[in-house]
Amino acid sequence: MKLKKGQKLIANISNLNIKGFGIAKLYQGSKTYNIAVDGAFPGDLVECQVYKSKKLYAEARVLHFLKYSRDRVEPNNDYAGISGATPLETLAYPKQLVYKQAEVIRILNNLNLKSVINPIIGMEDPWFYRNKMQYSFGIEADTFEFTLGLHHKMYRSKIVSVQNCNLCDPLCNKLISFTKAYFQKTNLVPYNFFDNSGLLRNLTLRFSKNTTDKMLILELSNYSNDPVVDQYFQALQATFPEITSAYLLNIIVKKGTKTQNVLTHKFGQTTLQENLHLKTQNLEFQVLPLAFFQPNTKQAQTIYQTVLDLVEPGKLALDLFCGTGTIGLFLSSLFSKVVGIELEPQAVEVAKSNALNNQLQNIEFYCGDVYKILNSKQFQQPDLVVVDPPRSGLTPKALDLIVNLAPKQLVYVSCNLKSFANNAVELTEKGYKLELVTPVDQFPHTRHLEVIAKFTRPK
Ligand SMILES: C[S@@+](CC[C@H](N)C(=O)[O-])C[C@H]1O[C@@H](n2cnc3c(N)ncnc32)[C@H](O)[C@@H]1O
């Protein structure tokens, strides 16, 4: 029998699940229910109320804390617990790592995936780590006033104001406050997803960690040459000389047509430069507003170094889902030839110039869907394939094409443990052996983690 919605329970939290919810076991007769409690951590004793119920599983919200866990720490951001951005920030950082590691072991064990699992690589300083933040315009959840901040964890269409964000450079706080104050005085209103009305969508800030470059992108919809917007950029440039590059992105949404992104460069450089330092290589990367770049520079270096440490050199390496070409460019000193494949044209554009700027000539890039390019081009058997797909993982068709290429080594970089584990099962069923998994905490205080895995193909 399911638990009832609205039912109140006392929950003694003993574990943490992949969503970052505290888990309590509830024993009723011969049945054991798993209760996932939002905002509770192991060691907490809470009274909670069920809001979602399935067979032997329920999700609940805390009504009262009866006892606090000893692993709780004070919040560092003013939106902790209200926005969904940092659900784990009031859990001591070393404990966050313990639970993330346990989650990797649990998921791989459940699927019978046998492999060496290295200890998770955390951050020495788990604050101010992000090189990219996106804040949204909208209506404040409490006051119903115009604001700029992060989405509310329960009411996604409402916004939690942000004055003090400690995930990124402190200059972000000043830019939020300046931008909010500027648009508050105008008659421009936040974009409304439900009826495609309004104009103001997001403020995206991309700040290089290893150079002084700082890019700002103001995202709008339904925009047509408004002087108020031009004046914003003029005021921004005059007030913040630190901003090295500014763009306006107009996102055109029309029913029945594909959403279109129209970028206008407003001032400064057209690209942002980030440098990455690995043990034996330093490379420079140009980033364009729409191109993906790992959002935590320090841990990106850890991820790429982990990939390089796993790889045996050879003739041909394929870097699939290559973004701005980062992994492929680091691999190019170990292989005679490297091929990168990426869907986003801006990312491919900068990947090509990144190769030129770093004087690496043995790499080429194709722009398009990984499956379509692998299906249409004849590649010889690669010595290595690296895949770093989006959260959904590899599609069955793309996975089959990769298996048909029969690389001796396959390195899988994943930001989604579940899709990785499902793909890992398919790869092992198709003859690959999962040798090693290294978890990396790229997003402290969130439930996300990155895994880097090596598969080999027995001869
Ligand atoms: C997780 S990112 C990895 C990028 C890169 N490896 C890095 O470390 O910066 C995934 C990339 O896959 C690209 N992508 C998504 N779907 C794709 C597809 N079907 N074919 C090719 N690239 C795709 C995205 O644009 C994004 O740049």
pLDDT tens for 54-106 read 999 999 999 999 999 999 999 998 888 888 899 999 999 999 999 999 999 99
pLDDT in tens, 299-340: 999 999 999 999 999 999 999 999 999 999 999 999 999 999
- Higher pLDDT: 456 or 30? It is 456
Residue identifier of the C-alpha nearest atom 27 of ligand 1: 323
Q: Tell me what pLDDT residue 330 has.
A: 98
Q: Give the residue extent of every domain in the chain.
A: 8-67, 101-124+273-456, 132-207+214-268
Residue minimizing CA distance to atom 4 of ligand 1: 323
Q: Cα of 390 to ligand 1 centre, how many Å?
A: 6
| Distance from residue 58's CA to the centre of ligand 1 (Å) | 35
What digits encode the pLDDT tens for the residues 99-141? 999 999 999 999 999 999 999 999 999 999 999 999 999 999 8
Q: 132-207+214-268 belongs to which CATH class?
A: mainly beta
CATH class name, domain 8-67: mainly beta
Do the domains 132-207+214-268 and 8-67 match in fold? yes
Cα separations (Å) of 164 from 142, 149, 205, 227? Answer: 17, 10, 15, 30
Please list every protein residue whose CB sits less than 6 Å from any atom of ligand 1: 292-294, 321-324, 326-327, 341-344, 347, 369-370, 388, 390, 415
- What are 270-306's pLDDT values in tens digits? 999 999 999 999 999 999 999 999 999 999 999 999 9
Is the per-residue pLDDT at 459 higher than 80?
A: no
Ligand 1 binding pocket mutation candidate from 343, 349, 371 (most atoms within 8 A of CB): 343
Distance 29 CA to ligand 1 centre (A): 49
Protein residue whose Cα sits closest to atom 11 of ligand 1: 321
Distance CA 281, CA 285 (A): 13
Q: How far apart are CA 128 and CA 450, in angstroms?
A: 18
Q: What is the 3-state secondary structure (H, E, C) of 55-118?
A: CCEEEEEEEEEEECCCCECCCCCCCCCCECCCCCCCECHHHHHHHHHHHHHHHHHHCCCCCEEC
Pick the CATH number of 101-124+273-456 from 3.30.420.40, 3.40.50.300, 3.40.50.970, 3.40.50.150: 3.40.50.150
Q: Are strands 272-277 and 260-268 parallel, antiparallel or unpaired?
A: unpaired
The helix-helix angle for 93-110 and 417-429 (nearest 10°) equals: 30
Q: Give the rounded percent of residues in the chain with a pLDDT score beyond 70.
A: 100
How far apart, in whole angstroms, are the C-alpha atoms of residue 100 and residue 35?
A: 19
Beta pairing, strands 31-38 & 22-28: antiparallel
What's the average model confidence in pLDDT over 214-235?
Answer: 95
Report the separation in Å between the CA atom of 391 and the middle of ligand 1, taken as the mean of its atom positions.
10
pLDDT value at 28 more than 90: no
CA distance 352 to 395: 26
Average pLDDT, the chain: 95
CA pair distance 324, 344, nearest whole angstrom: 9
349 three-class SS: helix
Taking the CA of residue 398 as reference, the ligand 1 atom at the shortest distance is: 19
Q: pLDDT category, 157, cuts 50, 70, 90?
A: confident
User: 171-184 and 227-239 are packed helices; what angle lies between their axes, rounded to 10 degrees?
Assistant: 150
Q: What is the pLDDT of residues 394-427, one digit of tens each?
A: 999 999 999 999 999 999 999 999 999 999 999 9
Cβ atoms of residues 318 and 379 within 8 Å = yes
Task: Tell me the CA–centroid distance for residue 426 and ligand 1, in Å.
Answer: 21
Residue pLDDT, tens place only, 238-256 = 999 999 999 999 999 988 8
Atom of ligand 1 minimally distant from the CA of 324: 9
Helix H or strand E encompassing 309: helix 297-310
With 0-12 / 13-18 / 19 or more C-beta atoms within 10 angstroms meaning exposed / middle / buried, residue 202 is: buried
Catalytic residues: 415
Q: Residue 215 forms beta bridges with which residues?
A: 206, 245
The pLDDT value given to residue 256: 87
Nearest in space to 270 (alpha carbons), one of 213, 326, 323: 213
Q: Using DSSP bridges, classify how beta strands 409-414 and 450-456 pair: parallel, antiparallel or unpaired.
A: antiparallel
